[in-house]
Amino acid sequence: MEPIRLTQFARGGGCACKIPAGELEQIVAGLHVAAPPGSDVLVGLDDGDDAAAVRIEGGRAVLSTSDFFTPVVDDPYDWGRIAAANAVSDIYAMGGDPIMAINLVAWPRELLPTELLTEVLRGGLDVATEAGFPVLGGHSIDAPEPIYGMAVTGTADPDRLMRNDAAQAGLAISLTKPLGVGVLNNRHKATGERSEEAIASMVALNRDAAHAALAAGVRAATDVTGFGLLGHLYKMCRASGVAARIDAAAVPYVTGAREALAAGHVPGGSKRNLDWVRPHLSAVGITEDELILLADAQTSGGLLVVGEVPGAPVVGETVAAGSLPDGALVQVA
């Protein structure tokens, strides 16, 4: 029998299957309500940060996030590992440490053997074990498409949170993982061709990068996932009241990403990301292909850090709001 290709059971794949950012903002507009009296919300809905943060008794902050998606690769164990690394990334992106998680599962029982689901869960559990937190149950449903992810709880020092609204002008911008897994995953879905480098990047935890950023005194960071580097940088600039320049030549890419792009393997999410950011983007002399890669919908991407992180390339700098042409918030040069 031919092996089952999980990616063929989903319309999208990985974080590229997110609801488009602009559409999502319209959906939740007006749903923001004041926190109940007595609560101590540190990070809520206002700026679409990576996780929610609430101060609790004892002075610590509790972080809460969830993330799940349809298969990004065909191998069930690898998909589980990628989904778990992606889910816990939101905790690391805010400077926290995970303390527990629960699984979130949808599975088409009549289409796919449950033995594959066991492998998905085993992959997630192995990454959680590597990261040092337990997986304590979860919830599952029978559904038309396979979906897997986690809800993760963490803790952090409330005075050292890394937030997407804390960027200041005049600082370097660092990127801790290469881009390009979106187009490579799209090629994998279309042809079955695996990129071992892309998989290795996606399963790698952002833990060490987060700890290094905290040690360097970083106050602003986010992780690069479904909205691409340009999308997440735009959100950070908008929330912080700054602008940013990106040096396109300094941005690292996974081997084969440009070839996958040239072959036409572009996720629909990457195109939607670029369309969303374009009204706020200055990019004279930059090709459309380059912009697509910078907007490429990543799954379990690296941290986008305002500040320098040892070992991570500097890909740009923050500048004062209003200093870019035509009022742009992001400039690519």
Residue numbers in the known binding site for Mg(2+) are 50, 90, 223
Tokens of residue 6, six digits: 């999980």
- Select which of 6, 7, 10, 15 is catalytic: 15
Residue 174 amino acid letter: S
Which residues are part of a known binding site for ATP? Answer: 18, 47-49, 67, 90, 138-140
Task: Give the span between the Cα atoms of 222 and 208, in whole angstroms.
Answer: 15
Other CB atoms within a 10 A radius of the CB of residue 236 amount to 28
CA dihedral 176, 181, 183, 189 (to 10 degrees): -170
Q: Contact at 8 Å (CB) between 143 and 292? A: no
Main-chain dihedrals φ then ψ at residue 118, nearest 5 degrees? -60, -40
Task: Give the span between the Cα atoms of 185 and 46, in whole angstroms.
Answer: 31
Other CB atoms within a 10 A radius of the CB of residue 164 amount to 26
Q: Contact at 8 Å (CB) between 42 and 213? A: no
237: annotated active-site residue: no
Residue partners of 48: CB distance under 8 A and separation at least 6: 25, 164, 235, 239
Tally the residues of the chain.
Answer: 333
Other CB atoms within a 10 A radius of the CB of residue 302 amount to 25
Phi/psi-derived region of residue 282, left when phi > 0, alpha when psi is between -120 and 50, beta in every other case: beta
Q: Which of 105, 101, 130 is nearest to 118 (CA)?
A: 105
Q: So which residues are the catalytic ones?
A: 15
